[in-house]
Amino acid sequence: MLFKIAIKNLLGAKLRTWLNVFVTSLSFFMIILFSAMYDGMREHAKQVTINTEIAGGSYWHPKYDPLDPMTFEDAHSVPPIAIKGLVNQGKAFPVLVSQASIYPNGRIMPVIMKGIIPEQNIVNMPTKMLAGHDKIAIPVLIGRSMAKDAKLEVGDTFTIRWLDANRTYDADEGTVVHIMDTENFKLDMGHIWVPLHKAQEMLDMKKEATYVTYTKGLPIVENKGDWIPRDVTYLIRDMEALIEADEPNAAIFYIILLCFAGMGIFNAQVLSIFRRGKEIGTLMALGMTRARVVGLFTLEGGLNALLAAIMTVILFGPLLWYFGANGIWLGMDYSDGSMGLIVEKYLIPVYSVGLVVTTTIVVSIIVLIVSYLPSRRIARMKPTDALRGKVAV
């Protein structure tokens, strides 16, 4: 019986119903979109790191610690045969890491110099641009932020000074052959990339490497010597820790969005219900019990939430899909790493099942509560007061 009346009330109220449903639907949309953007930002940072830096994982020289540049000096050797085999098959590429100093425009800048195979296609880096520069002493690839910082352009030259395997300082002229646009600021700021054979020659470390990055989906080789396998989980652990540390912020962000949505829904529902005080009085005069009046309005709230969920799919679904496929223009460039996390210019929201289900349930509960509370208050009034529309908020 209540269901029938509730449906009639909702469909009969037309504009009022659709306004309430729209407000609720907008809340669904905003919460899902903003939370998905937040999730997307974190997921994107992870994916970019994997695509541009980590691939399937790496084998590290036992002395290599990327967080301690002092280890670079000793962290190099010829990779074990099994690992070298992967390189020969094109399933991995070696990187030789060393400290260096550059002198662009008369300034001195400490950098990490990395030698990489120009032909590699395992990580998403324009290393091919390093190939075919036989007449250049040291072809150098740098990132856009590094170029900006050092005031360098393609074709510019500068002095590079390094310490070779014999602990002898040497220097030569590097030439910028390409400036790459990368979303991963860890490949950009403070880094210069040179062809591997050139780095090995400069450092007097023939056939040596610091780490070898392998393609996705490869199992760990058996004869890896004392080199240490580092899988994706290990290599993104810092990022995972950062994301985990950010969970409370994400939760607070979600709660703030819910509060905003809750206030919108509360206003719409309370206004709607208190405007119907006389109607409630009439229903009581016709013999509807207080419990049923409360049940009716709560049920209307529930149906409102259901319609809002359907409206969200129909009205905002295409928009959510579009953002999910094409991303949202952020209007700012964080590629210099100033956010402390990789942030793309276009942020692609990630809609998880958990987010959608949780949001639907939580918003529906809010709608039910804000329908239940005011209707209970009105139903507790004397029918004569309700009939006169004498309703106080």
Partner 1 sequence: MEQNIVIKIKNLIKRFPVGGNFFTALKDIDLTINKSEFTGLVGPSGSGKTTLLNIIGGLDSPSKGKVSVLDQDLNDTSHRERARLRRENMGFIFQSYNLLPVYTVFENVELPLILNKIDSQERGKKVTQAIEWVGLSDKTNSRPAMLSGGECQRTAIARAIVHQPALVLADEPTANLDAENSHHIMKIMVQLNQELSTSFVFATHDEKIMAYLRRIIHLNDGQITKDEKIDNPKSST
- Which residues in this chain contact partner 1 in the complex, by CB under 8 A? 1, 4-5, 8-9, 12-14, 278-279, 281-282, 284-291, 382-384, 387
Dist. CA 260–CA 163, nearest whole Å: 58
Identity of the residue, 17 or 120, whose beta carbon is nearer to partner 1 in the bound complex: 17
Minimum distance of partner 1 from residue 271's CB (angstroms): 16
Give min distance, CB of 1 to partner 1, in A.
6
Output 87 or 268, the one with its CB closest to partner 1: 268
Least distance in angstroms from the C-beta of 284 to partner 1: 7
Q: Which is nearer to partner 1, 106 or 287 (CB)?
A: 287
Which of helix, strand or coil describes residue 49? helix
Q: Is 123 within 8 Å of 52 (Cβ atoms)?
A: yes
Decide: residue 113, CB within 10 A, 0-12 exposed, 13-18 middle, 19+ buried: buried
> Cα 22 to the chain's mean position, in Å?
29
Distance in Å, CB of 335 to partner 1, minimum: 56
Q: Is the separation of the CB atoms in 145 and 188 below 8 Å?
A: yes
What is the smallest separation between the CB atom of 364 and partner 1, expressed in angstroms? 23
Place of tokens 């590094």: 146
Instruction: Please identify, using beta-carbon distances, which residue of 5 and 232 lies nearer to partner 1.
Output: 5
Helix (H) or strand (E) holding 18, with range, is: helix 15-49
Bridge partners of 103? 159
Q: Would you tell me how many other CB atoms lie within 10 Å of the CB of residue 51?
A: 16
Cα separation, 261 vs 111, in Å, equals 49
Q: Which is nearer to partner 1, 14 or 167 (CB)?
A: 14
Minimum distance of partner 1 from residue 6's CB (angstroms): 11
The sign of the CA dihedral 23, 29, 32, 34 is negative
Give dist(CA 290, CA 292) in Å, integer: 5
CA distance 139 to 211: 21
Q: Which is nearer to partner 1, 43 or 279 (CB)?
A: 279
Q: Which is nearer to partner 1, 51 or 282 (CB)?
A: 282
Which phi and psi (to 5°) does residue 120 adopt? -60, 145
Gap between the Cα atoms of 152 and 325, Å rounded: 35
Given a contact cutoff of 8 angstroms between Cβ atoms, the answer to whether 150 and 311 are in contact is: no
Nearer to partner 1, 286 or 392 (CB): 286
Residue 289: CB minimum distance to partner 1, A: 5
Beta-bridge partner residues of 213: 58, 93
Work out how close the CB of 309 gets to partner 1 at its nearest, in angstroms, rounded to a whole number. Answer: 23
